[in-house]
Amino acid sequence: MPELASTLPASWYCSLPLYQLERRAVFIKSWYLLGPVTKFQNVGEKFEYEIAQQPVLAFRTSGDSPLPEPGEFQVICSKTEKPLRHHITPTGLIFTTLSDEAPSFHEYFPDLEPLLQKVDFTRLPYRRSIKYEGRFNWKTMIDGYQECLHCQYTHPSFSVYYPPTFYTVHNHQNFSQHIADPKKPDDGIFLYFFPNCVLNVYGGGMSSFRVCPTEDPNVTRMEFDYYHIEFGEKFEEYFKFVRQVAMEDYELCEKAQYNLGKGVYSEGILNPEKENGVSFYQARVFELVCQQHAADQSHYSINQTDIVMEAVIFSAAPTLLALLAGIGFLYRFGLQLLDAKKSETIPELAEDDSCGVLKESNFPAGWWGSKEVFELERRALFSKAWLCLSHRSRFTKAGDYQSYEVAGFPIFLILGKDGKVKAFHNVCRHRAYTVTKKQDGSSTVLGCRYHGWSYNTYGELTKAPHFDELPGFDRSQNGLFDIHTVTDAAGLVFVNLEASPTVSWVDTGLLDSFLRKSKLNPQSIWIAGQTVVANFNWKMALGSKNLIDSSELENTIRQKRSISWQTTGAFNLFQMKSEHFSVFPFTSFHSIGRTGWWWALSFLPASEQKTALRCDLYCSTDGSSRSQEVADKLFVLLKERVRKLETEYQEYVSVGNIEKEKEILDCLEDHIRLEKSQGTEVFPAMRKPRESPRFRQAEQLCKELHCKSQLKHLAW
């Protein structure tokens, strides 16, 4: 049975060393569309471009004919003022290239100009340009453009004019032609010029855009030019339509890119007919990058010491590669942690008489706010620990779901038709788009709005348009990535993101005792919940046991009781003070005396400097008569305390829960040692890829580039 083609690895969408290689391999020697001649009508008016961090100026030097004569148009490098080669097609499109080593225009696009004869580009006046940045890799946008499987789900307005049923992509040398209806090949021209330029002619107008990579592989600058025969109201109508399509693509790309960089999704599969344009350009990128990498290796000429190291690292000896890469990784970050303590024992501590909390100054720099520490916490802690996220009472019928963002991992909980709560990564298996879009909702069928893949409450793939009939496609192998889930005797829902088949459960004896005493059970009633985003690190949770004074909540509840209850039950109320119990790493439970009310608080890490505090209020009996007042009081107190913590943050970070912080530090150090031994970052939540030969080669190349980049830091 044939195996379906895979996408490039997710690492190719996030790696800076890989992009730096792409820049030389893909961008420097390509040809780029600047636009039609109508954009350059005014002599001396210079238009700025940036191609792979190379600034370029294009302008007309003289003449007034529709097509500039030789010598009447110029493209130069802004830095050096060196003239760059350009080509003007007979129909009025202007292309340029950055490098003298690039092939000629006709060698690069041997069969393009006959296709362009269909449109006279000298008759489309230039109207407007816009540009903005998006949080996605340049390939993420090209992935979307090079197929129209998604159009009926993402671009319903576009699909009205160009139904995707017969949409086809014809690949040529270094460009692709998109045809909406094979019976009407002249109805609209949609062209992709490798690597990052697009030209769309339809509806009386034309748009061209450039997908410009920045120095950050996760950020791309989009540049659009618009042309139209009409102006005024008719142009604005056209402009509104094409901008709507562009922004729909923008949202797709940002969400897909977000999931590509989270260490769970590794690769997807491609439809050989409907996604042949994606396969075409990705294969070209892969080919050029591998060629450039091989050339770099054969011409690498540096001092003798580095030559020896290079030969060792990139030889066929994976053990030595792992060893040296591990040294580089450890030097870059691990030693900052290992040296911070100076020994394996807790450093000297000082007692703070004002609050009875120990102070400790020897945790590593960045402990409370560096991206490096946070990313390590994601791999070493949040990918391995059992995390308490919810309670069974939040789910009443099959299909009820809740979406979460935990340390950058998008996940959701859903009640299956079997009555059990399950957890899944919120990532479609096809191309990494988000499945659930709301914070909470209810549906027994979860559909991805990128390409229409649908899943049931068990995470099983139930619908995959244009894939089900393909030889080699197996629905059972393309379900959602499931997450280890446990609902305990009290109804608390725990998840563990580790990708291994089995994960050991933890001893919850002390928690169970607290829950029984606090009357917390599966029959508890969820009253209300709220999320507050705070500007501080999630580890504030370790020292925030008494974040809210529950006595004010007790007073609110007691005031709503009847006189008879106050006389008979007040004694019992004051016999038990409000208590709390913390569940490592970021959740705590708080009982409100003997009222039967309790609340849960989770410090969900959002980034190194932001935390989403999720607070949920529960009652063991029907508290509807006073529930809103109690909930309002709780959330007001929460917001007040969070704002106060934000102002006291810098003072607070010098005081913490040393025991728990050391527990975190131990987890990080253990994981660093694991990564050192393997010579690469280890993502416990990452799902095993299908690993085609090309995938393995691409992934290994990316790891080698990363290792080489890290070893440059050792040139001290």
Say what the pLDDT of residue 654 is: 67
Q: What share of the chain is helix, strand, coil (3-state, %, to 5)?
A: 35, 25, 40
Say what the pLDDT of residue 322 is: 47
Say what the pLDDT of residue 485 is: 98
Q: CATH no. for residue 483? A: 2.102.10.10
Query: Do 353 and 240 belong to one domain?
Result: no
* Domain span at 453: 386-506
Query: Do 454 and 551 belong to one domain?
Result: no
Place of tokens 């940002």: 254
Say what the pLDDT of residue 545 is: 63
Place of tokens 């997807």: 268
Q: Where is the domain boundary, 460, 478, 506?
A: 506
HSE-CB of 261 using CA atoms within 13 angstroms: 21
The answer to whether residue 294 sits within a structural domain is no
HSE-CB of 138 using CA atoms within 13 angstroms: 31
| Tokens read off for 710 | 């890290």
Please list, in sequence order, all residues whose beta carbon lies within 8 angstroms of the beta carbon of residue 651, skipping any fewer than 6 positions away. none
Query: Do 554 and 703 belong to one domain?
Result: no
Task: Give Rg (Cα) of the chain.
Answer: 30
Dist CA 431 CA 657 (whole Å): 42
Q: Helix and strand tally (H, E) in the chain?
A: 19, 30
Say what the pLDDT of residue 481 is: 98
Query: Do 162 and 235 belong to one domain?
Result: yes
Say what the pLDDT of residue 166 is: 78
Query: Do 139 and 79 belong to one domain?
Result: yes
Closest alpha carbon to 601 in 652, 626, 635 = 635
Say what the pLDDT of residue 520 is: 85
Q: CATH no. for residue 270? A: 3.30.530.20
Kindly list the averaged pLDDT for each block of 10 residues, start to end, along the chain of length 716: 85 96 96 97 96 95 95 96 97 97 97 93 95 98 94 83 82 94 73 97 90 97 96 92 93 96 94 96 98 88 46 43 46 51 35 39 80 96 97 97 96 98 97 95 96 97 94 94 96 97 90 85 92 94 75 72 42 52 92 86 96 93 76 93 86 70 92 91 91 89 83 42
Query: Do 335 and 466 belong to one domain?
Result: no
Total structural domains in the chain?
4
Say what the pLDDT of residue 559 is: 66
The answer to whether residue 295 sits within a structural domain is no
The most distant pair of C-alpha atoms in the chain lies apart, rounded to whole Å, by 100
Query: Do 671 and 645 belong to one domain?
Result: no
| Tokens read off for 226 | 């618009």
Q: Where is the domain boundary, 653, 672, 693?
A: 653
Say what the pLDDT of residue 321 is: 45
The answer to whether residue 135 sits within a structural domain is yes
| Tokens read off for 579 | 């208590």
Query: Do 30 and 43 belong to one domain?
Result: yes
Q: CATH no. for residue 642? A: 3.30.530
Say what the pLDDT of residue 305 is: 46
Dist CA 226 CA 248 (whole Å): 18
The answer to whether residue 2 sits within a structural domain is no
Residue type, 607: S
Say what the pLDDT of residue 715 is: 37
Residue type, 622: D
The answer to whether residue 353 sits within a structural domain is yes
| Cis check: omega of the bond before 585, within 30 degrees of 0 | yes
CA dihedral 278, 284, 285, 287 (to 10 degrees): 140
The answer to whether residue 314 sits within a structural domain is no
Query: Do 667 and 641 belong to one domain?
Result: no
Task: Provide the 8-state DSSP code for 232.
Answer: T
| Cis check: omega of the bond before 9, within 30 degrees of 0 | no
The answer to whether residue 306 sits within a structural domain is no
Dist CA 310 CA 300 (whole Å): 9
Please list, in sequence order, all residues whose beta carbon lies within 8 angstroms of the beta carbon of residue 620, skipping any fewer than 6 positions away. 519, 520, 521, 523, 524, 525, 596, 597, 598
Query: Do 474 and 557 belong to one domain?
Result: no
Q: At what angle do helices 550-559 and 627-647 cross, to 10 degrees?
A: 160
The answer to whether residue 313 sits within a structural domain is no
Query: Do 529 and 603 belong to one domain?
Result: yes
Q: Where is the domain boundary, 264, 288, 312?
A: 288
Query: Do 644 and 666 belong to one domain?
Result: no
Q: At what angle do helices 693-711 and 276-298 cross, to 10 degrees?
A: 40
In the sheet with 73-77, reading across from the earlier edge strand, the strands are 47-51, 54-60, 73-77
